[in-house]
Structure 1
Amino acid sequence: MLFPQLNSTRTLTDLNGMWQFQADEPAIDLNQPLPHPEWVAVPGSFNAQLLGPQYTDKVGYFWYETHFQLPSEQLQRRNVLRFGAVTHAAEVYLNGHLVMKHKGGFTPFEAQIDQFLQEGSNDLKVKVSNILDNTTLPSADYHGDGKETYRFDFYNYSGIQRSVVIYSTTTSYIDSITIPYQTDLVHTSVKPVVKVNGDFNHAELTVFDQDMNVIDQQNGLDAQLNIDQTHLWQPGHSYLYHLQVKLFDDNNELLDIYTKEFGVRTIKIENNQFLINKKPFYFKGFGKHMDFFASGRGMNLPLMNWDNHILQSIGANSFRTSHYPNDEITMQQADRNGQVVIDETAAVGLFIGFNANVEVLKNDQTTWNTLDTTAAHQLAIKELIERDADHPSVVMWSIANEPAGGQPGAREYFAPLVKLTKQLDWQKRPVTFTNMMRDDYQDDDIADLFDVVCLNRYYGWYTSHGDLKAAEKELRDNIMHWHEKLPDKPFIFTEFGADTVPGLHSLERSPYSEEYQVDLYKTYFKVFDEFSYIIGEQLWAYADFHTQDNMIRVDGNLKGVFTRDRRPKAIVSLLKQRWLKK
């Protein structure tokens, strides 16, 4: 699926803006206006914009509605309705007709709509579900009464989260482009895979450099294009080529054109090091939620751009899309800014009973005899790789966050998913997951399936709370035990930190103070630097974020090194000192 593009053969109609919205009710008629609507902004999370428990606390079904018109000449073309993401499931109706359904809240979906379009005003309705259960990603325990028990620690922002557009093409069009290449870091051969629907006479493929100078041009969809003296995509120093595909008819008239950016770089794991372009790379950065006031998890381009500048200013070179795929423009900008990305599916909450305060295992119950998420997980991996395979910023796939990797059935669940991920990705990128403290080296049964092991550890916070001497020993011992278990694997710490109340200071440097957060990170950094097979540190978290209300969350999760509105805590000065010189 191609990202929508406006050019000489493709039109683009933006349907973003203010839509009407309401909770589901029996009286809703597909052929009538919504009976009791409110106004909400699209894209955006409805439960970040509207007040009242009927929106902020409700789990169930909701309706969106808008109207649009298309120029008469556009109705003669092929028209496609595309959603960047709807959380977590959608049914789309145009002029009373069901157009498409989609499950999975963080990847795009689309359908051709010509048979449903009409002259004049068109009525578009979307039925949205924010229900999560034992079959979905993320996973939750749905009680069927408008309530559910979440197995993850972030707010269930919902709605039409990313852009809605209609794009049009001729009836002969480029359907998809993938850009496999081979390189020795000097000479690069590019063998694009282009899928075309409809009749055409011939195709022309061109590679341009970053300044749109022609590098090579060939005819035919099976053409190979060559780049000599390759400019490599490097962390912190992006260089992007452009592949342009043109289709022509029998009269040499242009039918369709599409241009796609790509970067050239290599990835290899060797001697417990992560090599990008044959050079060791050390991950410095964060786990990073899409979360902000009013927009919720909705696409927020000014915030995204602001965050990118903040990351660069403190020396961060990477982030993990915790715990779901980020929007497509975020990924494009990571390519352009030279940021390195661990691209994560929404497979979070795959651990029944990990929090005994909210969910307790019954007799003989395990995660893997309770959940039925395999189909959703396979689809999530497929859609993520289909969307992001050509992003040079993506150096690794994370297919799960903190699953129950030590419970019976875990290996049987994950082994086929790792294999699927490798099969779908032409680059054969490394595959990882994040391991949680409750599932440590003694119990884990899946880490050896993965290329890199990511560890989430909270010594000094959830264990040895306030005792950093004990935390230091626990951390060091844990690293050595993991290395003994998997001596040929590199490790990244993808979560570690402490809740920190902004502005709280303590002479005793006590927990929740900014001083304690600094001391905790100093302790971890000291230990990391002792081990060559630790190849990265991604703090939890980049910024404070909203969570469900519970007894350990006061105004959300406060482990951010920035507040939710991006005010720096004291730890940021230490990070700049460490990262800008490391």
Structure 2
Amino acid sequence: MRRLSRALALLVLLLAPSAFAQAVLTGADMRPAQSLDGAWHWSVDPYRDGKAGFHGGMPGESSRRWSDIIQADALEQNPRARYEFDMQRSPVTHLPGSWIGHAAEMRYYQGLVWYQRTFDARKPAAGTRMFLRFGAADYTTDVYLNGKSVGSHKGGFTPFVFDVTELLRDGSNQITISVDSARTDDDVPPPVTDWETYGGITRSVTLVTVPETFVDDAWVRLGRDGRIHADVRLYGHQAQNRDLAVRIPALGLTLSGKTDSSGSWTSSAPAPGMLKRWSPEVPTLYDVRIESGTDLLQDRIGFRTIETRGTQILLNGKPVFLRGISMHEEELGKDPVRAITPAAARALLTEIKQGLNGNFVRLAHYPHSEVMTRMADELGLIVWSEVPVYWRVNWNNPATLASARQQLRENIVRDRNRASIALWSVANETPIGDARNAFLRTLIADVRAIDDSRLVTAALLSKREGKVMRIDDPLVADLDVMAINTYNGWYSQDPLAELPSFEWRSPANKPLIFSEFGADAQAGYNDAAADPHKFSEEFQAEYYRQTLAMAAKVPSLAGLSPWLLKDFRSPRRQHPVFQQGWNRKGLISETGARKQAFFVLAEEYRKRAGH
């Protein structure tokens, strides 16, 4: 009878309007969960033998790495059995973390890797559901539980979940994951970038238990109208006409009501007079409770407004200059594996907030871990968040556009409650053309449809005419904030002393951010000559002095995010003396040593902050 009831419930769930979209489990990192981080077996599969036989089709039994068996036991029971793998006796690594750190030979590996472990669990109790939740895996992921396919996901930087309610068993469960880092020209990003791929399971894997009907998505924010707004979606077969409430105890505020026929509900109320608005100076966060039936979703949310007026960016109605820097998702250390813990995030962001006197960070060139965005909330750093529409994606391929839209939505829905995020960026350094313009305008429209409370931007390129820099990208008209990457004096032969004489022109009356500028320097390499050599700390420091002098003359400038905080790995950068596989534009080395230019920028920001 119980089995019949569960089957009926599943049928209703599939037919219910609230179930037409796959569950997203926003705020899942705040829910009680069983962590599956830790020790995992891993096995390379460069010819993808575990995916298909050599004539195509289903791989043979000897190659099915997801099979729900213990190979050693099977061999003992049948001496004639043959396996081309043995996951239980394969090497062990600790996840999350890219396979770059598994073994030295994995440094430049591109392809398929299998992971497997067992964990103890109990079948979900009546009235509950269980989801496998992945913070991110790069790039194409297939998941198997107890020998059964669970689902697939493409995209290396956003979370995804799978309902495993019917596949879990009491006692030991076996989970097998294949992660393929290889990308094509139709993917987002394409294969050619200027950062390390970091293939593998780079963010946490958890097993989350929720009621049969639960809060799937809850967006709570302060509107520009001075009201607290809440949009909540329930998921489950009882999502319609269901009571729910949003409570902010410290403000004495409760919003309550019933969901509609799709399981959604929207409400608002005037912001209480005691509300303290989030800002870099006072990054106030409030405990927020979203309740429906037996489900409780908790979050920590800051309330602020962000908008533009002419060439200014306004935070909480007041002009703010964004004193920032760009950064990649790489922890400090000689051998980073893209394992961003709260301590790793704090170490990086504290260098910006306290070391550089900053209030802003550009998280490039893809969505960073939610550990990072939550830390930005806590420390008080305004965030630029970006999707990896980078350089030369296939603008004419509908599947490529669909992938970009998916990643954009997954990023925004995950982080809409982060007060720190002010800017959604849809692209970086993309070539102008009709197909590209249409592609990016679709993404811009998606941003405005999913989150109309923030600003939209993209890192663009400019046109040079002598010493005049023209911002003539047609996409400017569609953006709230212009952003330009500029490298005069580094990727050109211009004498540094001439940089302040460059003039910037734009027909748009909008805020401008210099989203990138920078020069490489190997930490510890010094050249005291009057005309220092590129890659020296002295050249980088002088480059910053002269570029900042140029920036000071741009009347529409509303922010800076130089390239970048920390040296980062990049296979493109192979100079055997100065680079050795690292992009050296960081103001600190990969281990955190501050270069001379760090102090140049810190002093500039100290002055701009009025300290």
Range class of TM-score, shorter chain: 0.7 to 0.9
Which amino acid is 1:49 matched to?
H
SS of structure 1 residue aligned to 2:130:
strand
1:258 aligns to what? 297
2:311 aligns to what? 272
Deviation per CA, 1:491-548: give whole Å up to 9, x if none.
1111111100111111213321111111111111112112220111111110001111
Which amino acid is 2:457 matched to?
T
Following superposition, the deviation at residue 15 of structure 1 comes to 0.3
Residues 224 and 160 (structure 1), Cα distance of their counterparts in 2 relative to 1, 3 Å cut: same
391-400 vs 289-298, which moves further: 289-298
Following superposition, the deviation at residue 76 of structure 1 comes to 7.3
Answer whether contact 1:264 1:392 (CA < 8 A) is retained.
yes
Answer whether contact 1:180 1:193 (CA < 8 A) is retained.
no
1:66 aligns to what? 117
SS of structure 1 residue aligned to 2:121:
coil
2:515 aligns to what? 494
1:307 aligns to what? 348
1:168 partnered with 2:209? yes
1:214 partnered with 2:252? yes
Q: 1:281 aligns with which of 287, 297, 320?
A: 320
Deviation per CA, 1:392-429: give whole Å up to 9, x if none.
1111110111111x2342222222221122111142x2
Q: Measure, in 2, the Cα distance between the counterparts of 1:556 and 1:294.
A: 11
1:319 partnered with 2:319? no
SS of structure 1 residue aligned to 2:589:
coil
Which segments of 5 or more consecutive residues in structure 2 lack a partner in the other structure? 1-24, 51-61, 71-84, 260-264
Deviation per CA, 1:79-105: give whole Å up to 9, x if none.
111000000110000011110110011
SS of structure 1 residue aligned to 2:374:
helix
1:516 partnered with 2:555? no
Q: Measure, in 2, the Cα distance between the counterparts of 1:369 and 1:72.
A: 46
SS of structure 1 residue aligned to 2:182:
coil
Following superposition, the deviation at residue 113 of structure 1 comes to 0.4
Identity of aligned residues (%): 25
Which amino acid is 2:213 matched to?
S
SS of structure 2 residue aligned to 1:102:
strand
1:430 partnered with 2:452? no
Following superposition, the deviation at residue 74 of structure 1 comes to 5.3
1:47 aligns to what? 100
1:531 aligns to what? 554
Residues 445 and 166 (structure 1), Cα distance of their counterparts in 2 relative to 1, 3 Å cut: same
Following superposition, the deviation at residue 180 of structure 1 comes to 4.6
Which amino acid is 2:537 matched to?
E
- 5 Å-filtered alignment, 1:408-423, equals 408-423=434-449
**TM-score normalised to the size of structure 2?**
0.82
Following superposition, the deviation at residue 63 of structure 1 comes to 0.5
1:179 aligns to what? 220
Deviation per CA, 1:282-305: give whole Å up to 9, x if none.
111111001244442233332111
Residues 454 and 183 (structure 1), Cα distance of their counterparts in 2 relative to 1, 3 Å cut: closer
Q: Measure, in 2, the Cα distance between the counterparts of 1:154 and 1:437.
A: 23
Q: 1:190 aligns with which of 219, 222, 229?
A: 229
Q: Measure, in 2, the Cα distance between the counterparts of 1:75 and 1:289.
A: 44
Answer whether contact 2:227 2:268 (CA < 8 A) is retained.
no
**TM-score normalised to the size of structure 1?**
0.86
1:394 aligns to what? 421
SS of structure 1 residue aligned to 2:607:
coil
1:28 aligns to what? 63
Q: Measure, in 1, the Cα distance between the counterparts of 2:271 and 2:375.
A: 23
Answer whether contact 1:235 1:340 (CA < 8 A) is retained.
yes
Q: Measure, in 1, the Cα distance between the counterparts of 2:473 and 2:484.
A: 12
Q: Measure, in 2, the Cα distance between the counterparts of 1:520 and 1:400.
A: 26
Residues 155 and 183 (structure 1), Cα distance of their counterparts in 2 relative to 1, 3 Å cut: closer
2:272 aligns to what? 228
Q: Measure, in 1, the Cα distance between the counterparts of 2:416 and 2:348.
A: 24
Residues 5 and 545 (structure 1), Cα distance of their counterparts in 2 relative to 1, 3 Å cut: closer
Residues 501 and 294 (structure 1), Cα distance of their counterparts in 2 relative to 1, 3 Å cut: closer
2:410 aligns to what? 383
Answer whether contact 2:328 2:363 (CA < 8 A) is retained.
yes
1:450 partnered with 2:479? yes
Q: How many residues are treated as equivalent by the alignment?
A: 532
SS of structure 2 residue aligned to 1:121:
strand
SS of structure 2 residue aligned to 1:325:
coil
227-236 vs 124-133, which moves further: 227-236
1:4 partnered with 2:11? no
- 5 Å-filtered alignment, 1:117-136, equals 117-136=168-187
CA RMSD of aligned residues (A): 2.5
Q: Measure, in 2, the Cα distance between the counterparts of 1:232 and 1:278.
A: 11
Residues 75 and 129 (structure 1), Cα distance of their counterparts in 2 relative to 1, 3 Å cut: farther
Following superposition, the deviation at residue 206 of structure 1 comes to 4.3
Following superposition, the deviation at residue 371 of structure 1 comes to 9.2
Q: 2:243 aligns with which of 203, 211, 214?
A: 203
Deviation per CA, 1:106-148: give whole Å up to 9, x if none.
00000110211112211100011101112211112xxxxxxxx
Residues 323 and 423 (structure 1), Cα distance of their counterparts in 2 relative to 1, 3 Å cut: same
Q: Measure, in 1, the Cα distance between the counterparts of 2:462 and 2:229.
A: 43
Answer whether contact 1:368 1:408 (CA < 8 A) is retained.
no
Answer whether contact 2:533 2:539 (CA < 8 A) is retained.
yes
2:78 aligns to what? none
2:382 aligns to what? 340
Q: 1:505 aligns with which of 526, 532, 535?
A: 526
328-337 vs 550-559, which moves further: 550-559
1:572 partnered with 2:595? no
Q: Measure, in 2, the Cα distance between the counterparts of 1:572 and 1:550.
A: 22
Answer whether contact 2:327 2:566 (CA < 8 A) is retained.
yes
Answer whether contact 1:183 1:189 (CA < 8 A) is retained.
no
Which amino acid is 1:423 matched to?
A
1:559 aligns to what? 585
Q: Measure, in 2, the Cα distance between the counterparts of 1:415 and 1:239.
A: 34
Following superposition, the deviation at residue 62 of structure 1 comes to 1.2
Residues 75 and 296 (structure 1), Cα distance of their counterparts in 2 relative to 1, 3 Å cut: farther
Following superposition, the deviation at residue 344 of structure 1 comes to 0.3
Answer whether contact 1:368 1:407 (CA < 8 A) is retained.
no
1:361 aligns to what? none
2:16 aligns to what? none
Answer whether contact 1:89 1:102 (CA < 8 A) is retained.
yes
SS of structure 2 residue aligned to 1:383:
helix
Q: Measure, in 1, the Cα distance between the counterparts of 2:446 and 2:28.
A: 27
Q: Measure, in 1, the Cα distance between the counterparts of 2:379 and 2:542.
A: 31
Q: Measure, in 2, the Cα distance between the counterparts of 1:137 and 1:244.
A: 35
